[in-house]
Structure 1
Amino acid sequence: MYKLITKSISKNYVPYSVCLCTSTVNTKLNEVGQGLRKIQPKTNEIKSYGQPTPDTHPHLLKPGEFTPGLTLAEFKSRRERFVDKLLSSSNTKKHCVVIPSAKKKYMSGKIPYVFRQNTDFMYMTGCLEPDSCLLLEIDNEKFTSTMFLRPKDKNMEMWDGVVTGLGDPGFFGVDQAIDIADLNNYLDLTFKSSQPDTLWYNTEESEFTRLTSTVKELVKSAWGANLLSPTNLIHQLRLYKSSAEQKLMQKTCQIASEAINETISWSNPDISEHHIFAKVDYECRMRNASYLAYPPVVASGQNATTIHYINNCQMLKSGDTVLMDAGCEYGGYTSDITRTFPVSKSKLSDAQRVLYEIVLETQKSLIRKLQEKAYSLDELFEIMCLELGKYLKEIGFIPKHLSGVDLARASYKYCPHHVSHYLGMDVHDTPSISRAIKLEPGMVFTIEPGLYISADNRVVSEEFRGLGVRIEDDALMLPNNKVQILTEACVKEIKDIER
């Protein structure tokens, strides 16, 4: 006769069950005892936080890094420089700055979108967790920093993963950590006790609706207190990339360049735009990008005349070109590249070649001018319009008598978008910064002229109708009017795209 005997083991042993014959219980128990696996005491336990660390994710982070390529010291320095900039821009000395994170967003019910952190919050903290907030309390030149976070909760963490919790504010390099649920009450008490002259909070873009209401009520009830947004001050810092950030920009641009090269070589007329989308996404991720930086434009044929075409569902046809606008995100920094190429390793048609050469030569001209003197992005846009206009007159798209402003306006109809935007943690980075300021060392920006000829345009000959071309590269401004093209590895010469 057999019995199932389960021996309860002390906490140093794994529970062990075995089926034994009762006639040989003693003998078998001795054998079982010898075979038990003893759990060794944990001497080098790796602590987990709400985001990767060099210990938990050594394939993502090198020793000493807080986020890929960046140290905790860099995030502390950003907060210090922010406070210095704030104080230098203000006549008062007591301030309260509230910078919230992003919140989780849901497709439907409990199905979340992939979380992406608010980039201003990310820039100031390096924190990747949702439902968080940074509070800076400034009194003259001294300030204290507080992170409001979700507390540890075993049930929640079983579903959503580990959170950092409140027990280790030093992990983020701040003075204290408090439960995010207490943020509104804490802010109310702090505002009333310290009576800051200005409360800095972006009421227009915050996803924390209750916090926004609290902030407005506090300022409304306070005598003489100001409510200002910290966004522009943060963007003034973000505009200039540190040496570590420049390396991250080089990396994300290199990844996207290689991925696009692979995708161009792989394209053929037996696939759809959606397959091109999937291919470039795959190639970026296989090079350790987190994901694509934005929904890519994969526009074949006359779809390329729709500037923000993202349906990406048409079949590729032999003889067509594909305009692909794609970039990736690596370590929180984005790339943004556009290439136009023929399907199936074919040659460009005469009309396709004419437009392509115009756009390519215009882009090269802009890059050359950047190395002569400092320009603003708006000035580059004006130059682009005039350059395109010059070529468009030659091929009969624009009347030959036009010049100056009239020429620029005429060519704008064929390229109705700006030639550049700032680039960094966001694709259209630091949007509060004017494009009228001169480019300076440390700024990263795009150079993206294009031409779009609608299918119903009767001014041009038939072979040009329905064609769209754009070429976009990412550039880093260096000292002495030097320009580094970060996406130089991505093919764009006709001999290379025709393969």
Structure 2
Amino acid sequence: MTYSDTDSPAAPTPDPAAPQSLAQRGDNRSHRPTNQAFRDFIGSGWGPRPDALPARNDAAPWAAARRERLGVLFPGDRLVIPAGGLVTRNNDCDYRFRPHSAFAHLAGTGTDFEPDAALVLEPLGTAGADGSSATDRADDGTDTAAAAPTHEAVLYFRPRASRTSEEFYADTRYGELWVGQRPSLEEVEAATGIRCAHIDSLPDALAKDAGPDGVQLRVVAQADAAVTALVNRVRTAAGLAAGPEAQQVDDALAEATSELRLTKDPWEVDQLQRAVDATRAGFDDLIRSLPRATEHRRGERVLEGAFGARAREEGNGLGYETIAAAGNHANTLHWINNDGAVHPGELVLVDAGVEVDSLYTADVTRTIPVDGRFTAPQRRVYQAVLDAADAAFARAGMPGCRFRDVHTAAMEVIAARLEEWGMLPDGVTAADSLGPDGQFHRRWMVHGTSHHLGLDVHDCAQARREMSMDAQLRPGMVFTIEPGLYFRADDLLVPEELRGIGVRIEDDVVVDPDGGVRRLTQAIPRTADEVEAWVSGLIG
């Protein structure tokens, strides 16, 4: 990130005979004119920009409430939440930009908001704050509401430059002719309800009143190395702890922004339902592509591509890399190579989710018979996994259920089925295996049953254990239920007819305001009979 005047005069024309540094050589292919006559010409003759400001976006009031909840935890501190920068894919090509999830949650800006932006919560003093800190939050995750606002939000980014500037035509990172028209400060203020300022003013804003007897700075340090470095320079100049010495201060902010997402507001739940609905459409497209997949040497990629096209058409794209694992590949938990063939008679395990434009993602797994019918051994494994998923769902709906209890309920079923099939060690019962000195059933399901879901597919990852895994389920929590059984083809402890079969069933669920648990994925077929009818209905 740089903090410079983008409308400054052009640099002197370089001497073509002078030696070039490695950094300069990347521009050799551009052949951009540098004479003043061209600059005057390219900046002229453009029509007026639209006068109307955009309407306030739907996320704005919800994001404002989230900022208030965060601010009350850190009264008097300046909180810096960067959007992040572009990430190089190779040479001078960048990955598609996606803002850091904490920024997206608190700014409410959604898809492709400007790289290098930063949201700053400016302290308004301690009036109305209760003085609680990030470590003072209640065990149930609730926050004490402030009687009056504790912070003002300011959004710093680089607005579009004038058409007479060199940036307009020559800057491949920000130039309008390269990346499209970017918003103005006024447009973003209208859409978000947040006061906006030029990114070049960020250093002075961070330095204002900073010091041991003044304002403390906290930054989500992992979001943007350049912004974190700037914060540390300001801290050092102001006599505050910086770098590793400030890690505890910064970690408390990262923890708080993560825990803030443990419960979703109604707007977020609606976005997640939209992501699930788009994911259902993607699964339909994938199933329709099964016949072509069986004819292609890399049929798994045919399936992956069918889902991915729908994800881009209906949303921002994929929430994570799609798993399209046919046959024995389903027993590799994170199989994303997707370069294998798809054969009739096999199962294909598909773990995929659409990320909608608000950046919320679904996370759904279905295990699908390629030719529309389960064999008897496949159905036996499938039913065991379905029973485990149903048991976990039932446990989640019981009063006082803790997050970890959902996994326990699924494992009770998995262990019982493996005992019935004679797969546990001699003399070991399901009850024995469920004990801390057993866990033999986990050979065939080494992952957990649930994780929080939201802006990240594994959401709230920085939350404290007592706030997440050990916490009671609360209204607004959205999480997955995804048991599985994985019987590798080379596993000699598995009955021969089950080898090479891998099954996972994953649903997304929400705890409703009345404490009941509801499947967001209810409309996606999940029983064996439903899945067979689904496939047959789409491919005959």
Q: Tell me the TM-score normalized by structure 1.
A: 0.80
CA shift at 1:341, angstroms? 1.0
Counting aligned pairs with the same residue, the percent is 28
For residues 93-112 of structure 1, the aligned pairs below 5 Å read 93-112=75-94
Deviations 1:1-48 (A, max 9, x none): xxxxxxxxxxxxxxxxxxxxxxxxxxxxxxxxxxxxxxxx98x93557
The aligned amino acid for 2:126 is: N
From 312, 334, 339, the equivalent of 1:308 is 334
Q: For residue 152 of structure 2, what is the aligned residue in structure 1? A: 144
Q: For residue 181 of structure 1, what is the aligned residue in structure 2? A: 200
CA contact (8 A) 2:484 2:505 kept: yes
CA shift at 1:82, angstroms? 1.6
The aligned amino acid for 2:118 is: C
Q: Does 1:443 align with 2:473?
A: no
Q: In structure 2, do the counterparts of structure 1 residues 83 and 161 end up closer, same or farther at CA, with 3 Å as the change threshold?
A: same
Q: For residue 126 of structure 1, what is the aligned residue in structure 2? A: 108
Query: Greater Rg, structure 1 or structure 2?
Result: 1
Cα distance in structure 1, aligned partners of 2:212 and 2:412: 59
The aligned amino acid for 1:100 is: P
CA shift at 1:220, angstroms? 4.9
Cα distance in structure 1, aligned partners of 2:312 and 2:256: 33
Q: Tell me the TM-score normalized by structure 2.
A: 0.74
Q: In structure 2, do the counterparts of structure 1 residues 490 and 261 end up closer, same or farther at CA, with 3 Å as the change threshold?
A: farther
CA contact (8 A) 2:108 2:192 kept: no
Q: In structure 2, do the counterparts of structure 1 residues 266 and 214 end up closer, same or farther at CA, with 3 Å as the change threshold?
A: closer
Q: Does 1:237 align with 2:260?
A: yes
From 353, 367, 370, the equivalent of 2:393 is 367
Cα distance in structure 1, aligned partners of 2:79 and 2:420: 56
Q: Kindly indicate which of the two structures has a greater share of residues assigned to strand.
A: 1
For residues 404-415 of structure 1, the aligned pairs below 5 Å read 404=431, 406-407=433-434, 409-415=439-445
Cα distance in structure 2, aligned partners of 1:413 and 1:65: 52
Tell me the C-alpha RMSD between the 2 structures: 2.5
Tell me the secondary structure at the aligned position of residue 137 of structure 1: strand
CA contact (8 A) 1:146 1:174 kept: no
Cα distance in structure 2, aligned partners of 1:161 and 1:489: 38
Q: For residue 302 of structure 2, what is the aligned residue in structure 1? A: 275
CA shift at 1:129, angstroms? 1.3
CA shift at 1:324, angstroms? 0.4
Q: For residue 22 of structure 2, what is the aligned residue in structure 1? A: none
Q: Does 1:80 align with 2:68?
A: yes
Q: Does 1:250 align with 2:278?
A: no
Q: Does 1:462 align with 2:496?
A: yes
Deviations 1:36-61 (A, max 9, x none): xxxxx98x93557xxxx5xxxxxxxx
Cα distance in structure 2, aligned partners of 1:265 and 1:214: 51
Deviations 1:234-286 (A, max 9, x none): 22322211112111111111111232134224413224000001111223444
For residues 322-471 of structure 1, the aligned pairs below 5 Å read 322-330=348-356, 331-345=358-372, 347-399=373-425, 401-404=428-431, 406-407=433-434, 409-433=439-463, 434-471=468-505
From 222, 227, 230, the equivalent of 1:214 is 230
Q: Does 1:495 align with 2:514?
A: no
Deviations 1:470-498 (A, max 9, x none): 00000011134311100111112212322
Tell me the secondary structure at the aligned position of residue 371 of structure 2: helix
Q: In structure 2, do the counterparts of structure 1 residues 168 and 407 end up closer, same or farther at CA, with 3 Å as the change threshold?
A: closer
Q: Does 1:474 align with 2:508?
A: yes
Q: In structure 2, do the counterparts of structure 1 residues 489 and 134 end up closer, same or farther at CA, with 3 Å as the change threshold?
A: same
Q: For residue 228 of structure 1, what is the aligned residue in structure 2? A: 250
Aligned length: 431
Cα distance in structure 1, aligned partners of 2:107 and 2:502: 42
CA shift at 1:439, angstroms? 1.1
The aligned amino acid for 2:225 is: F
CA shift at 1:104, angstroms? 1.2
Tell me the secondary structure at the aligned position of residue 257 of structure 1: helix
CA shift at 1:218, angstroms? 4.2
CA shift at 1:373, angstroms? 2.3
Report runs of 4+ in structure 1 exceeding 6 Å deviation.
none
CA contact (8 A) 2:289 2:302 kept: no
CA contact (8 A) 1:376 1:435 kept: yes
CA shift at 1:177, angstroms? 3.0
The aligned amino acid for 2:424 is: I
Out of 353-362 and 242-251, give the one that drifted further: 242-251
Tell me the secondary structure at the aligned position of residue 260 of structure 2: helix
Q: For residue 9 of structure 1, what is the aligned residue in structure 2? A: none
